Structure 1
Amino acid sequence: MTSLLADLVAIPSVNPMGRAVSGPEYYEGRVSTFLEAWFLEAGIPVVRQQAAPGRSNLLARYTAPDPAAPTLLFDAHQDTVPVDGMTIPPFEPRVEGGRLYGRGACDVKGGMAAMLMAFRRLWVERPERSASVVLACTVDEEYTHIGSSLLAQTEKDVTLAIVAEPTKLDVVPWHKGSVRWKVKTGGVACHSSTPHLGSNAIYRMAEVVGAMAEHADDLAHATPHPKLGSPTMSVGRIQGGQSVNIVPDECEIEIDRRLIPGETPDAAVERVRRFVAQRCGLEGVTFLPAWTRMPALETAIGPWMDPLAEAVAAAVGRRPELVGVPYGTDAGPLGEAGIPAIVFGPGDIAQAHTKDEWIELEQVALASEAYYRIALALA
């Protein structure tokens, strides 16, 4: 399993996150090719499900001996965040002190390696009693979730989806969603020595940002979700102007709004728009269409929970806690499509996306045993 994880980390699969970049380190193509060969070498049929040009989910299916067995969906994403600011070689996996270091080790190639090994074990051993399992290696989890959104449309007959993310081997039935969009302000450019002849788009944006800060404070005091707390909002990026001696005629910000169950992306954006309109008006202000829409997750606990928790306990030595987390995952689109989904995997989210990303190899091994036992327990 360590060798497999090292191979996965050594192959760049960086999501450019909307940036206009190119090169072999970007997108999931090389990892998809590796995974396809890995499945075929093990004698496991695998199919590509194109989510975008050059970007495909990989699907492998294990059919249990009992035709009445339920079907589980295992999901792990192929992409990673960029490597800017990393202090270790991102694609030179290193094992030290029981940890494997490298970009994606924690988020989420450790979980992927665990799922792959559990799936291959099912394929080889073919236990008399188990669930059927669809293993999906999806694309674009880190940006717009096109892979899981496509998967949610095509995999309908699923009893439970288990999404690999670093949860410290606890079970996550609830997580926040997100919507992200841009707002632009326009002005009139002129020489900075005569600013009264123009209209400063940055000054206009300052009014908008002030209103948004007030709205963000209101959200922080809104009625909280019992497991996830209150919704949040943050202005995370601003740019504008051409030169210090030119009054700027354009300014742009990017907003991240975290959703709790019951909120929709469109309604959240409209609520912000109305608030800004009330505080400072919308003249010269343009709300651009959202480019990320991640649903929140709220999975009703079903009869599968007790056998799942017992299977995890047998694998890792303790019963998992049920926790809510503030970040989004592939489970969001799956849950929105009506598929019961939980998040479960090795590693700690505190190590994800970091300058020296790592994962404890013991947790990867325990997760693989847990995934295998879950497939047996939910038969």
Structure 2
Amino acid sequence: MGRTDIDPAVTHEARVTALIEHEFRNLGCPFRRQPVAPGRDNIVATYEPPAPAPFHVMFEAHQDTVPVDGMTVEPFGARVEGGRMYGRGACDVKAGAAVMLTAFARLVRERPAGSARVTLAFTVDEEHSGLGVQALVDAGPRPDYAIVAEPTRLDIVNAHKGVVRWTLETAGTAVHSSRPDLGVNAVYRMARLLRGVEEYAQQLQGLPPDPLLGPRTIAVGRVGGGVSPNTVPDFCRADVDRRLLPGETPEGAGAALEAFLKAFPGVDFPFALVRNSAGCLPLGPVLSGDLVKRFGATIDAVTGGHEVRGVPFGTDAATIAAAGVPAVIFGPGDIAQAHTKDEWIDLSQLEPAAEILFRFACGK
């Protein structure tokens, strides 16, 4: 069990939300807080153009970051050196959030003719369960397009894998290790299941890959069981990570794995496959063709060129697209620097990123 005495105002996004609210108040733009969980609010602002909007675009970035354990730089020091800023979240995704806020603030102040209606949403809980973006989508309204902040090196990402995670559980009968014949070893049972998962992984590799994203994958990331060396363990658990391709669902993937393991040689005992997170849906390119073309032209006008590609990691864009909104991923930085022990952002990408977003909202 986790600790119950932790203040969510300190450990979650509350202080980030308060800072963003301060910026929105200074801008004088309409905004709202959207409670998602205790101490965890989405915050959403709106820019209304001076004339009827040609389209409505949402800029979305998540407020949360991963933990700071093991970092070799001051996690929240924001040290600038050699054209880089170092710190937890610098790359994923505070830089992307900052350029979206910069572009949005410029729209509010300048109110350019012909500009779009823009919703700027900062969501919670992206790194774990995706509760924030789901609440955002459920609340509506639906924009015509969405641009989701993640580090893409100022390229367009229009497809990514999804993820679902389970805990695989086996049970046994605990006895003293001097008489293992009297008990049932849950770890031995898990070992048989894990051989099955390994074979299933090879089977997935043999299926046709996605042309943008490659093959389906499955991996076991953690195994644990038992209470002491001299006790035959009566439980064992393994965490399993499955990456999904467009067209696959978490429910379908779980049913397929469970059926494979039940039929695997040597698995003649009960086990459980328990889904342990909301996960992330896969994102396909089907809806976003027009957005990719229009947004790509804006990028080219600022930087001179871009790529359109898929990535293996998941984002909030999939949940937005599942609601019928064409969505792409865009932002400064490289995913190779995200979640690292010395996370950093290339500061030279910030100004062009903000200019790209501003121009796109201006219809240029």
TM over 0.5: yes
1:377 equivalenced with 2:355 (yes/no): no
Q: Return the alpha-carbon distance in structure 2 between the equivalents of residues 281 and 71 of structure 1.
A: 54
SS in 1 for 2:17: helix
Q: Return the alpha-carbon distance in structure 1 between the equivalents of residues 109 and 315 of structure 2.
A: 30
Cα-Cα RMSD: 1.5
Which residue in 2 is equivalent to 1:28?
13
Q: Return the alpha-carbon distance in structure 2 between the equivalents of residues 328 and 187 of structure 1.
A: 36
Q: Counterpart of 1:302 in structure 2: which amino acid? A: G
Which range moves more in the overlay, 97-106 or 213-222?
213-222
Contact 1:187 1:284 in 2 (8 A): no
TM-score normalised according to structure 1 size: 0.92
Q: Return the alpha-carbon distance in structure 1 between the equivalents of residues 236 and 43 of structure 2.
A: 41
Q: Return the alpha-carbon distance in structure 2 between the equivalents of residues 95 and 129 of structure 1.
A: 37
Contact 1:28 1:139 in 2 (8 A): yes
Which residue in 2 is equivalent to 1:221?
206
SS in 1 for 2:289: coil
Q: Counterpart of 1:118 in structure 2: which amino acid? A: A
1:145-168 residue CA offsets vs partner (Å, 9 max, x unmatched) = 001111122234311100000001
Gapped runs of 5+ residues in structure 1? 1-17
1:70 to 55, 60, 63: 55
Q: Counterpart of 1:62 in structure 2: which amino acid? A: Y
1:363 equivalenced with 2:317 (yes/no): no
Which range moves more in the overlay, 165-174 or 291-300?
291-300
1:305 to 292, 301, 305: 292
Q: Which runs of 4+ in 1 moved over 6 A?
A: none
Q: Return the alpha-carbon distance in structure 2 between the equivalents of residues 201 and 99 of structure 1.
A: 49
Q: Counterpart of 1:157 in structure 2: which amino acid? A: R
1:109 equivalenced with 2:94 (yes/no): yes
1:322-353 residue CA offsets vs partner (Å, 9 max, x unmatched) = 10000000001101111110000000000000
1:13-53 residue CA offsets vs partner (Å, 9 max, x unmatched) = xxxxx954735641101111111111112222321011112
1:165-211 residue CA offsets vs partner (Å, 9 max, x unmatched) = 00011101100001011111000001111111111100000001110
Shift of 1:299: 2.9
Matches within 5 A, 1:128-277: 128-277=113-262
1:44 to 29, 33, 56: 29
Identity of aligned residues (%): 47
Q: Return the alpha-carbon distance in structure 2 between the equivalents of residues 80 and 68 of structure 1.
A: 34
Which range moves more in the overlay, 134-143 or 283-292?
283-292
SS in 1 for 2:218: strand
1:339 equivalenced with 2:325 (yes/no): yes
Q: Return the alpha-carbon distance in structure 1 between the equivalents of residues 80 and 214 of structure 2.
A: 37
Gapped runs of 5+ residues in structure 2? none
Q: Return the alpha-carbon distance in structure 2 between the equivalents of residues 155 and 222 of structure 1.
A: 38
Contact 1:294 1:333 in 2 (8 A): yes
SS in 1 for 2:255: helix
Contact 1:173 1:323 in 2 (8 A): yes
2:336 to 339, 347, 350: 350
Judged with a 3 Å threshold, the aligned counterparts in structure 2 of structure 1 residues 20 and 224 are, in CA distance, closer, same or farther, namely: farther
Which range moves more in the overlay, 51-60 or 112-121?
51-60
Q: Return the alpha-carbon distance in structure 2 between the equivalents of residues 199 and 221 of structure 1.
A: 35
Q: Return the alpha-carbon distance in structure 2 between the equivalents of residues 282 and 198 of structure 1.
A: 16
1:294 equivalenced with 2:283 (yes/no): no
